[in-house]
Chains A and B, each alone.
Chain A
């Protein structure tokens, strides 16, 4: 499979009054053509920062990519000049943000907001740009695009606005679409429609999608592969099947146990106790130790090695060490 995006050892920090917050601490993943990769985790785990780093939209100062590389078609995005990066944003890599109510400029017509993105990257006439925009509005399911083109954002419902936002992200036929919590602000029924739209669009355009979410229900519907983030690191990753049916990391299990599932009728919902660690001074060992019911001495002292369980599936946890395994089986 063709690799579209390759993130290696990404580190991102924010300078604040209290010191440096290490929001992302060595993230690795690949994105393949036409797939949907979901990055899941609690708020503050660094998933949004990771996605904004790919777009180089981290506000600097205070934020900064301190280490690592982001390879897109052989180019390292972290090394590009701002002007070069600008020609990639919206054209090759697009982004959708959480709240469709605020993501559109309230004083500009949605038509203009679509067309300006096209004209920024393609040297075509305004008339042709409008044609492209209308086609795109039609594709995302806006009825009556010709007339709606002149309307302002406040004249649309939340679900419609998110469709417009998606249309805006897709006007230049990007290869990568990053969707940061695209359904969180929407009603449940609208959520399903938008997720269907994602699948539909992927089929039609072959775009690769990075889906950032905390909602495992959303993930179950659309993701091909899943990366679980905790305290600035990807602690486990694998195919959707592997993560849902063979979770290895106690955190992944905790996440799965805390959401209702149709396939496990009668299972009790168990919240994960405690809060994530302070990223001003992240612990040297596994950051989940304090909340982990399997915690061992080693977890506090060293960060676990990466264990590969299959081609896609890997996990950072000391429980994968043979000695932990032996102990657990002997206890049983």
Chain B
């Protein structure tokens, strides 16, 4: 080392002379990475676990699924079993959630309603997902003119008032489960298509994808390692949030008399029937379907919010 100017010298007090010897090499230590590396999904899962509200939502949904499957079997009363002598009984050890005006067991009917709601929600979300991924993925991947035309179509469809169309289709096709799902998905996929297309478009040109290509990485590996983690996040979130809106739409249609028809039950139709009893004090007929539909939508919404936070790659730390 070269010193052009010799400044005054110092001797620091209380520092022993023998410390002034070269230090053993520590280059490795300097280069060591402290943070343990977790895969994207592990990391997201850990962060979801920390979100108490989302976990509560998830727990409830698991319980609800269990009850939707086994609930109707737990009650000694079939959901369509009518006993007029038993009409409008309050909750008791015989009928845990009470009975309705035809003497049917509200407990059995509530869990049957859960089946309908979950089925409609999940099937609608799945169909939206499939159509959305195919349409949006194609538009985003192709780009150019095809993308332009496809997105103009989406833009026009986006202007359609969703529930009005659903009502219209239900009127035309006659009420029923199939009609509801058909009506819901006919406009429902648009949101998903927009998201997928945006994601694909954005990621197609990411430098790390280009970098992988230049390294000669196989396409399947690029999709699995790069594209999926970065596109799946928003898609999963969108799906989680589609479920409650489908559940709401089913209940809304059933409430208007366009949904599930008697003797079958859905939370919407049960609430609609229960509405007339509000003044007569038969609160249980309204309370149980209303409570469970709200709690289910709440659970899906908080789970969706939690997933959104957990799956955002930019929030990783």
Q: Binary interface profile of B, 256-277, with partner A (CB < 8 Å = 1, else 0)? A: 0000000000000000000000
On whether A327 and B20 interact (CB within 8 A), knowing A307-B10, A322-B11, the answer reads yes
Report A-chain residues with C-beta under 8 Å of the C-beta of B1: 294, 319, 328
A297 lies within 8 A of chain B by Cβ: yes
B92 lies within 8 A of chain A by Cβ: no
Report B-chain residues with C-beta under 8 Å of the C-beta of A274: 27, 30-31
A125 lies within 8 A of chain B by Cβ: no
Q: Binary interface profile of A, 320-331, with partner B (CB < 8 Å = 1, else 0)? A: 111111011000
| Interface secondary structure of B, over-half rule | loop
On whether A290 and B30 interact (CB within 8 A), knowing A245-B4, A305-B10, A307-B7, the answer reads yes
Indicate if the CB atoms of B11 and A323 lie closer than 8 Å: yes
Indicate if the CB atoms of A305 and B12 lie closer than 8 Å: yes
Identify which of B17, B27, B34, B317 contacts A323 (C-beta below 8 A): B17
Could you tell me which residues of chain B, from 129 to 183, have a CB within 8 Å of some CB in chain A? none
Could you tell me which residues of chain B, from 73 to 98, have a CB within 8 Å of some CB in chain A? none
B19 lies within 8 A of chain A by Cβ: yes
B21 lies within 8 A of chain A by Cβ: yes
Indicate if the CB atoms of A273 and B23 lie closer than 8 Å: no
Shortest Cβ distance from A328 into chain B, in angstroms?
7
B29 lies within 8 A of chain A by Cβ: yes
| B contact residues, total (Cβ < 8 Å) | 24
- Tell me the complex Cα distance, A295–B27, Å: 11
> Chain B: which residue is nearest A275 at the CB level?
B30
Could you tell me which residues of chain B, from 11 to 37, have a CB within 8 Å of some CB in chain A? 11-12, 15, 17-23, 26-27, 29-31, 34
Could you tell me which residues of chain A, from 283 to 331, have a CB within 8 Å of some CB in chain B? 289-291, 294-302, 304-305, 307, 309-310, 318-325, 327-328
Indicate if the CB atoms of A298 and B19 lie closer than 8 Å: yes
Could you tell me which residues of chain B, from 29 to 49, have a CB within 8 Å of some CB in chain A? 29-31, 34
Indicate if the CB atoms of A299 and B10 lie closer than 8 Å: no
- Tell me the complex Cα distance, A309–B6, Å: 9
Indicate if the CB atoms of A321 and B20 lie closer than 8 Å: yes
A9 lies within 8 A of chain B by Cβ: no
- Tell me the complex Cα distance, A275–B29, Å: 10
Report A-chain residues with C-beta under 8 Å of the C-beta of B20: 296-298, 318, 321, 323-324, 327
Indicate if the CB atoms of B23 and A295 lie closer than 8 Å: yes
B5 lies within 8 A of chain A by Cβ: yes
Report A-chain residues with C-beta under 8 Å of the C-beta of B3: 246
Shortest Cβ distance from B315 into chain A, in angstroms?
12
Report A-chain residues with C-beta under 8 Å of the C-beta of B31: 273-275
A278 lies within 8 A of chain B by Cβ: yes
Indicate if the CB atoms of A321 and B10 lie closer than 8 Å: yes
Identify which of A17, A295, A321 contacts B22 (C-beta below 8 A): A295
- Tell me the complex Cα distance, A318–B16, Å: 12
B218 lies within 8 A of chain A by Cβ: no
Report B-chain residues with C-beta under 8 Å of the C-beta of A327: 20-21
Report B-chain residues with C-beta under 8 Å of the C-beta of A297: 18-23
Indicate if the CB atoms of A321 and B30 lie closer than 8 Å: no
Indicate if the CB atoms of A295 and B17 lie closer than 8 Å: no
- Tell me the complex Cα distance, A93–B15, Å: 42
Identify which of A246, A318, A321 contacts B4 (C-beta below 8 A): A246
- Tell me the complex Cα distance, A302–B13, Å: 12
Which of A318, A320, A321 has the most chain B CB atoms inside 10 A of its CB? A321
Which of A273, A289, A295, A298 has the most chain B CB atoms inside 10 A of its CB? A298
Could you tell me which residues of chain A, from 71 to 125, have a CB within 8 Å of some CB in chain B? none
Identify which of B4, B18, B23, B30 contacts A300 (C-beta below 8 A): B23
- Tell me the complex Cα distance, A275–B31, Å: 7
> Chain B: which residue is nearest A245 at the CB level?
B4
B9 lies within 8 A of chain A by Cβ: yes
> Chain A: which residue is nearest B33 at the CB level?
A275
Shortest Cβ distance from A206 into chain B, in angstroms?
32
Indicate if the CB atoms of B26 and A296 lie closer than 8 Å: no
Report B-chain residues with C-beta under 8 Å of the C-beta of A273: 27, 30-31
- Tell me the complex Cα distance, A47–B1, Å: 28
Report A-chain residues with C-beta under 8 Å of the C-beta of B17: 323
Report A-chain residues with C-beta under 8 Å of the C-beta of B18: 297
Indicate if the CB atoms of B10 and A320 lie closer than 8 Å: yes
> Chain A: which residue is nearest B16 at the CB level?
A298
- Tell me the complex Cα distance, A245–B5, Å: 10
- Tell me the complex Cα distance, A31–B9, Å: 27
Indicate if the CB atoms of A309 and B7 lie closer than 8 Å: yes
A–B Cβ pairs within 8 angstroms, 13 of them: A245-B4, A246-B5, A275-B30, A275-B31, A290-B26, A290-B29, A295-B26, A296-B20, A296-B22, A297-B23, A310-B7, A321-B12, A324-B20
- 20 new A-B contacts, CB < 8 A, other than A273-B27, A275-B31, are A17-B317, A245-B4, A246-B3, A246-B4, A246-B5, A274-B27, A296-B22, A298-B19, A298-B20, A307-B7, A318-B12, A318-B20, A320-B7, A321-B9, A321-B12, A322-B9, A322-B10, A323-B11, A327-B20, A328-B1
